């Protein structure tokens, strides 16, 4: 059995809900848990605060308790149409808005004297292709931003890289807004239009990513880069 930890975030930035919290709720249901067991997966979840430092610490506590083989961290990405597998975490906190505790660091490292970046060890192009084959929109992203999502991704990547007793691999996955979030987000951001994805499609995509990742496939050598 492969042990997988999946984390989500509480609501932030003026929104009343966060799709990742709802995904976590779905992953905890008896039906989903049984499906995962049949696929050879022991699945645990954790809901994290959108707070600098605390998000990393809460996730580390969950890792220490569960000792997962794979850690998948989920976050909301307004403006994205597809489920995005993040390729790289950078050592930078530059919060455009305050986090849920009022922190707003500018041009600060996530970890003092840490490396500039960490690349995920998971085969994200393979995971992307698996979702596409299921009819779920998916892409590779080369920036997790500079808010709490990247803060968590870098913080956990650094923790796992420096804890030699652990062999866990991690990645951060961004999901779009839910359709029911669009009206509020348009008022918050003053954008003219925003893409969204139904919750059931997100859950299907994350389930596919979990099962695919636990087979530890090799990375597909396909182009998934961007020009800008």
CATH of the domain at 153: 3.40.630.20
- Give helix 54-66 / helix 148-162 axis angle, nearest 10°: 40
pLDDT band (50, 70, 90) for residue 105: very high
Residue 12 host element (H or E): none
pLDDT band (50, 70, 90) for residue 47: very high
What is Dmax (Cα atoms) for the chain?
A: 49
What length is written for the chain?
Answer: 228
Residue 223 lies in a domain: no
Decide if pLDDT at 227 tops 80: no
Residue 167 lies in a domain: yes
Residue 191 lies in a domain: yes
Residue 165 lies in a domain: yes
Residue 203 lies in a domain: yes
Residue 220 lies in a domain: no
80-103 pLDDT, tens per residue? 999 999 999 999 999 999 999 999
Decide if pLDDT at 193 tops 80: no
Decide if pLDDT at 204 tops 80: yes
pTM of the model: 0.96
Decide if pLDDT at 118 tops 90: yes
Decide if pLDDT at 226 tops 90: no
Decide if pLDDT at 190 tops 90: no
Segments forming the whole domain that contains residue 36: 2-213
pLDDT band (50, 70, 90) for residue 166: confident
Q: How far apart are CA 106 and CA 75, in angstroms?
A: 21
Determine the pLDDT at residue 174.
98
Residue 134 lies in a domain: yes
Determine the pLDDT at residue 64.
96
For the record, the structure tokens of 189 come out as 């951001």
For residues 58-69, give the mean pLDDT: 97
* Contact call for residues 18 and 11 (beta carbons, < 8 A): yes
Determine the pLDDT at residue 225.
81
Q: How far apart are CA 199 and CA 26, in angstroms?
A: 9
Residues designated catalytic: 149
Which alpha helices (H) appear in 52-198, and where do they start and end?
54-66, 124-133, 148-162, 182-189
pLDDT band (50, 70, 90) for residue 104: very high
Total domains present in the chain: 1
Give the Å distances, CA to CA, from 122 to 111, 147, 215.
22, 22, 11
**Residue among 70, 53, 51, 58 nearest 5 (CA):** 70
Residue 222 lies in a domain: no
């Amino acid at each position: 059995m492969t042990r997988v930890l999946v984390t989500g975030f509480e609501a932030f930035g003026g929104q009343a809900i966060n799709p990742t919290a709802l995904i976590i709720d779905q992953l905890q249901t008896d039906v989903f848990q049984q499906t995962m067991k049949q696929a050879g997966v022991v699945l645990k979840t954790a809901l994290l605060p959108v707070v600098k430092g605390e998000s990393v610490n809460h996730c580390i506590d969950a890792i220490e308790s569960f000792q997962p083989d794979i850690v998948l961290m989920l976050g909301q990405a307004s403006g994205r149409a597809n489920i995005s597998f993040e390729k790289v975490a950078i050592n930078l906190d530059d919060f455009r808005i305050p986090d849920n505790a009022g922190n707003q660091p500018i041009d600060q490292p996530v970890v003092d004297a840490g490396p500039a970046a960490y690349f995920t060890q998971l085969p994200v192009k393979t995971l992307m292709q698996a979702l596409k084959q299921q009819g779920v929109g998916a892409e590779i992203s080369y920036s997790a931003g500079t808010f709490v999502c990247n803060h968590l991704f870098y913080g956990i990547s650094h923790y796992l890289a420096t804890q030699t007793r652990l062999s866990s691999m991690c990645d951060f996955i961004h999901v779009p807004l839910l359709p029911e979030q669009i009206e509020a987000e348009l008022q918050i951001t003053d954008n003219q239009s925003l893409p969204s994805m139904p919750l059931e499609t997100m859950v299907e995509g994350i389930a596919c990513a979990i099962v695919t990742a636990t087979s530890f496939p090799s990375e597909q050598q396909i182009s998934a880069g961007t020009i800008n």
